[in-house]
């Protein structure tokens, strides 16, 4: 039957699933992320006895996704207790004799959307998640973006909004994009959770101000054919037109392309795979691992 296993390894919870090579999820479970011993025992137990051909792991980061590296397959310098320098691929390999795919959750999600979602038929797309943190992955020339390591697009430098005196939440950079625009910054600044803020609250204008700057830089540096924005904060659908308007204002006609001039609503979109974007991403990593055997 040819089923694949998928692990969406998040800092708060792990989602595990079984799916087809066409990206259809047929079973899914989730459990909180505690210690590697406890959480990985639940993961292994879920997959045991299931006849799967490969497993994909889309993980929170930073990770080492470079196959030639000594620490390939590790979650590396995460501040999350117990998970720093954890060899997640090694552990899965010791339990299951199948190909294991491994990348960041967001590179996986970009690949999943490229195969089965909003990025189908394109050469490139980026997937951005805006939630507890901000992360992004990319497909370029049909392949996931790697180099020195994987992208860390959430931590780029942005220009501060003139009315924003919030110091920022990032432990490394204070007021980088993530520090000023991820969920904790929205609630830290307003004293309210994002879901409690009215759709016309000025916080959303400020959020769009920061996210549009990020998109401007992603476009000028990567020139993606599609921008897919997911994560908890992007469930606030009023953000899309605000971001699109602010992005056009920032670019000021510099990039002349119909995707921006005319069809921006089809250029900056929600994940077509919806809440399965992350799990389908891991499924896509499993499929890729099988193809590369």
Q: What angle, 0 to 180 degrees and rounded to 10, lies between the N-to-C axes of helices 88-95 and 36-47?
A: 40
How many whole angstroms separate alpha carbon 31 and alpha carbon 24?
21
How many whole angstroms separate alpha carbon 76 and alpha carbon 56?
18
With CB under 8 A as the contact rule, the residue among 216, 264, 282, 289 that binds its own copies is 216
With CB under 8 A as the contact rule, the residue among 20, 30, 42, 76 that binds its own copies is 76
Q: What is the DSSP string of 91-122?
A: HHHHH--S-EEEEEHHHHHHHHHHHHSTTTT-
Considering the rule CB under 8 A, would residue 172 count as an interface residue with its own copies?
yes
Closest approach, Cβ 185 to its own copies, in A, equals 17
Stretch that binds its own copies, among 23-31, 91-99, 185-193, 252-260 (CB under 8 A): 252-260
Closest approach, Cβ 206 to its own copies, in A, equals 16
Considering the rule CB under 8 A, would residue 120 count as an interface residue with its own copies?
no
Size of the site for its own copies (CB under 8 A): 46
With CB under 8 A as the contact rule, the residue among 44, 52, 140, 197 that binds its own copies is 140
Closest approach, Cβ 158 to its own copies, in A, equals 7
Stretch 255-284 residues interacting with its own copies (CB under 8 A):
255-257, 259
Q: Which is nearer to its own copies, 159 or 237 (by Cβ)?
A: 159
Longest Cα–Cα distance of the chain, Å, equals 57
Q: Which is nearer to its own copies, 7 or 176 (by Cβ)?
A: 176
Q: Which is nearer to its own copies, 18 or 284 (by Cβ)?
A: 284
How many whole angstroms separate alpha carbon 164 and alpha carbon 242?
18
DSSP 80: S
With CB under 8 A as the contact rule, the residue among 219, 229, 239, 284 that binds its own copies is 219
Q: What is the DSSP string of 13-49?
A: EEEEEEE-TTS-EEEEEEEE---HHHHHHHHHHHHTT
Tell me the pairing of strands 125-130 and 134-140. Answer: antiparallel
Cα end-to-end distance, the chain, whole Å: 18
Interface residues with its own copies (CB under 8 A) are 62, 76-77, 123-124, 140-141, 143, 145-160, 172-173, 213, 216-225, 250-257, 259
């Amino acid at each position: 039957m040819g089923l694949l296993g998928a692990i969406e390894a998040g800092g708060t919870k792990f989602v595990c699933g079984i799916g087809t090579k066409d990206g259809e999820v047929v079973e899914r479970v989730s459990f909180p992320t505690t210690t590697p011993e406890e959480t990985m025992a639940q993961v292994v137990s879920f997959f045991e006895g299931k006849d799967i051909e490969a497993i994909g792991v889309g993980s929170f980061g930073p990770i080492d996704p470079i196959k030639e590296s000594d620490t390939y397959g590790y979650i590396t310098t995460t501040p999350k207790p117990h998970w720093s320098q954890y060899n997640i691929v090694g552990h899965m390999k010791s339990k299951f004799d199948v190909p294991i795919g491994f990348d960041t959750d967001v590179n996986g999600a970009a690949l999943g959307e490229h195969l089965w979602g909003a990025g189908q038929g394109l050469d490139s797309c980026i997937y951005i998640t805006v939630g507890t943190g901000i992360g992004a992955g990319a497909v370029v020339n049909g392949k996931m973006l790697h180099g020195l390591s994987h992208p860390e697009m959430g931590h780029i430098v942005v220009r501060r909004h003139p009315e924003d005196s919030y110091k920022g939440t990032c432990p490394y950079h204070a007021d980088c994009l993530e520090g000023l625009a991820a969920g904790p910054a929205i609630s830290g600044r307003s004293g309210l959770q994002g879901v409690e803020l009215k759709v016309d609250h000025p916080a959303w204008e400020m959020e769009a101000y920061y996210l549009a700057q990020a998109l401007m830089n992603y476009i000028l540096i990567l020139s993606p054919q599609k921008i897919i924005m997911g994560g908890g904060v992007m469930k606030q659908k009023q953000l899309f037109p605000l971001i699109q308007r602010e992005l056009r204002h920032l670019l000021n006609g510099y990039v002349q392309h119909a995707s921006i001039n005319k069809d921006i609503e089809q250029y900056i979109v929600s994940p077509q795979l919806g809440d399965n974007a992350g799990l389908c991403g891991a499924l896509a990593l499993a499929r890729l691992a099988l193809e590369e055997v």
